[in-house]
Structure 1
Amino acid sequence: MAVTDLLVVIIAVILHRIRGIYFPVSFLTTTPGCSASAALNYAARDSSVWLTVTFTFDRCVAICCQKLKTKYCTEKTAAVVIATVCSLSCIKHIPTYFIYEPVYIIDNVPWFCSIKLSFYTSPGWAAFDWLDRILTPCVPFVLILLLNMLTIRHVLMANKARKRFQHHCNGSNQSDSEMENRKKSIILLLSISGSFVALWMAYVINMFYVRLTKGSYFEGSNNTDQRFILQESGYMLQLFSCCTNTCIYAVTQSKFRKELNNAVKYPFKLFFKFWK
């Protein structure tokens, strides 16, 4: 999740937004360059979103399904799931590369990207666009909310049963490390999935508004138009959501902080080892 979120920041924010402002003419300004950048941007976004779903499912299995936990919650399964999600996200957005056409052709070099007119009129492209919108983020929204409800329900029921058992055995309510671990897991789960839902909400509202009204934000709109502000706010919060998971991990998970610290120190250790 941290790596795919970082890829979204690099591709969507640095190579697309910031590069477009400070370096308006570059290799990425050519039609093949900006088409590839757009496809990679959407692929990284989908990987980030669906890895959030798989994380939520992983926590649900680990907490609610003890028998399945020993088989599913392993490093091998995690590697397979991550590779599958990232591969499918890349394959899904191969057609995105062919959506665009050049705005200018100078010395046989195509420059800039403009969406083809056939994208708006072709039933095939319409089906692809609807499929993309449904798979990201509508289906993840439903899955995350459903899995969170199941996980929280299981934890609350297990905590009540454990409290009754402890009270029956000890006659008093004492601190329980198992319940504390469950509480931390729930906080982490809700922090990641909750931030995802909250930060994608403006984008979803914007998407349904466009679909229902069949409108466009660029038809006679300007930077003070409320529809334009809603659209850009949705894009901004969508990109910001890809920055939160890494921060949440870094703050809440001691193992993650330890591994991150080791990753930072490793190049220096390798250098000193080579120097000696």
Structure 2
Amino acid sequence: MVQEAILLVKNVYYPLLATFGVPANVLIIMILCRENCGLSKCISVYMVAMAVADLLVMLFNVILYLIINYQFPYSFLSYTAVCRFILYIAFTNLDMSVWFTASFAFDRFVAICCQKLKVKYCTKKTATVVILTLSVLTFLKGIPALFSYEPEQIINNAQWGCRTKADVFTMPGWAAYSWVQSLSLPSIPFAFMALFNCLTVRRILIANKARKGLQGKNNGSQSDPELKNRRKSIILLFSISGSLIFLWLTAVGSFAATKLSSTVYYQGGYSNPEYIATEAGYLLMYLSSCTNACIYGVTQTKFRDELKNILKYPWTLFLKLVKK
């Protein structure tokens, strides 16, 4: 019964996640590309990049690998060459999603804490260069992973499935590469996000305190648009990076325990706590690729208005056609 319950959760959860995650990220891209949300162009570039990475996670990681490949184990996707490519793209997508969020946190840090650098760095051109550079480095960094898999079985001279080679767990070179990957996702970007967010909030709180002191007692009770904008910046920044870190915690903890105990991913025994913790971590980790749409809808008024307009458009168009 435990085994059936766990498999049932996965079989229901991932299709529901994809059903919400794909259109949600597509809507984010559409709305932000219209540039009617009152956001600066460099912020829009980072937010679009995060949405694209999350959309790729939904398409490759969730739909292709966790749903189709699991439900149809001997389909075209199960050929070893195709399976290797899907695993490579799946890991790269997660890498980009995390690093794009870290780069957004750094951009907000520069915009608020480094006024001299802000003029040159916080531009649409720089944001585009940063996103493209991170994308290229991520794809290059993942190339060795393509050679870490071998066929699970050979049927009629056809290679099926993917499993990690034994050399990956024994050779020093693969061990070093594994630790590099472990640090780059997600240890280093999470540390960067925590550091930059703390410095940004500290600077905003100090600036707000000074601003209130300059306003005096009479103006202190009045609504200050600048303070409201800073407050919204804190909420948006902490919501995006905070939700990502929180939803990854279980997966990170499970992975760290596996590394420190020198074991590999647990494959069997669906009632085993190690397996349950690992799968629960994946469930929450992939949920992080759907949360930004909800965060934007809650924290950004103009984003909500644009979303309402897009959702109303088919109905408005239908009414116009009916009238004609």
TM beyond 0.5: yes
Superposition pairs of residues 60-139 of structure 1, within 5 angstroms: 60-139=109-188
Query: What residue is the counterpart of 1:245 in the other structure?
Result: 292
After superposition, the C-alpha distances for 1:64-114 in whole angstroms (9 at most, x for unaligned) are: 222221211111111111111111111111111111111222232211111
Task: Determine which of 216, 224, 228 is the counterpart of 1:176.
Answer: 224
- Give the aligned residue type for 2:276: I
Q: Distance in 2 between matches of 1:163 and 1:262?
A: 38
Q: Distance in 2 between matches of 1:172 and 1:39?
A: 55
Change (3 A) 1:70 1:263: farther
Q: Distance in 1 between matches of 2:90 and 2:165?
A: 19
After superposition, the C-alpha distances for 1:136-184 in whole angstroms (9 at most, x for unaligned) are: 100011111100110010011001000000016x464321000000000
Local SS of the residue matching 2:289: helix
Query: What residue is the counterpart of 1:272 in the other structure?
Result: none
Q: Distance in 1 between matches of 2:157 and 2:310?
A: 45
Matched, 1:230 2:277: yes
What stretches of structure 1 of length at least 5 have no aligned partner?
270-276
Change (3 A) 1:261 1:88: farther
Query: What residue is the counterpart of 2:71 in the other structure?
Result: 22
Deviation at 1:50, TM superposition (A): 0.1
- Give the aligned residue type for 2:173: G
Change (3 A) 1:16 1:204: same
In the superposition, the TM-score normalised over structure 1's length comes to 0.89
- Give the aligned residue type for 2:85: A
Query: What residue is the counterpart of 2:233 in the other structure?
Result: 185
The 8 Å contact of residues 46 and 89 in structure 1, kept in 2 or not, is answered as yes
The 8 Å contact of residues 212 and 220 in structure 2, kept in 1 or not, is answered as no
Q: Distance in 2 between matches of 1:131 and 1:86?
A: 17
Q: Distance in 1 between matches of 2:211 and 2:83?
A: 57
Deviation at 1:263, TM superposition (A): 8.6
Change (3 A) 1:126 1:258: farther
Deviation at 1:203, TM superposition (A): 1.5
When structure 1 is superposed on structure 2, of 113-122 and 19-28 the one drifting more is 19-28
Task: Determine which of 86, 100, 125 is the counterpart of 1:51.
Answer: 100
Deviation at 1:257, TM superposition (A): 5.5
- Give the aligned residue type for 2:163: S
Q: Distance in 2 between matches of 1:259 and 1:67?
A: 34
Count of equivalent residues: 265
Q: Distance in 2 between matches of 1:203 and 1:140?
A: 15
Change (3 A) 1:126 1:33: same
Task: Determine which of 125, 149, 154 is the counterpart of 2:198.
Answer: 149
Q: Distance in 1 between matches of 2:249 and 2:180?
A: 19
When structure 1 is superposed on structure 2, of 95-104 and 126-135 the one drifting more is 95-104
Q: Distance in 2 between matches of 1:90 and 1:190?
A: 28
Deviation at 1:255, TM superposition (A): 5.3
Local SS of the residue matching 1:105: strand
What stretches of structure 2 of length at least 5 have no aligned partner?
1-49, 318-324
Identity over the aligned pairs, expressed in percent?
48
The 8 Å contact of residues 203 and 234 in structure 1, kept in 2 or not, is answered as yes
Q: Distance in 1 between matches of 2:220 and 2:237?
A: 30
The 8 Å contact of residues 148 and 165 in structure 2, kept in 1 or not, is answered as yes
When structure 1 is superposed on structure 2, of 202-211 and 185-194 the one drifting more is 202-211
The 8 Å contact of residues 9 and 242 in structure 1, kept in 2 or not, is answered as yes
Local SS of the residue matching 1:242: coil
Local SS of the residue matching 2:257: helix
Change (3 A) 1:63 1:254: same
The 8 Å contact of residues 47 and 86 in structure 1, kept in 2 or not, is answered as yes
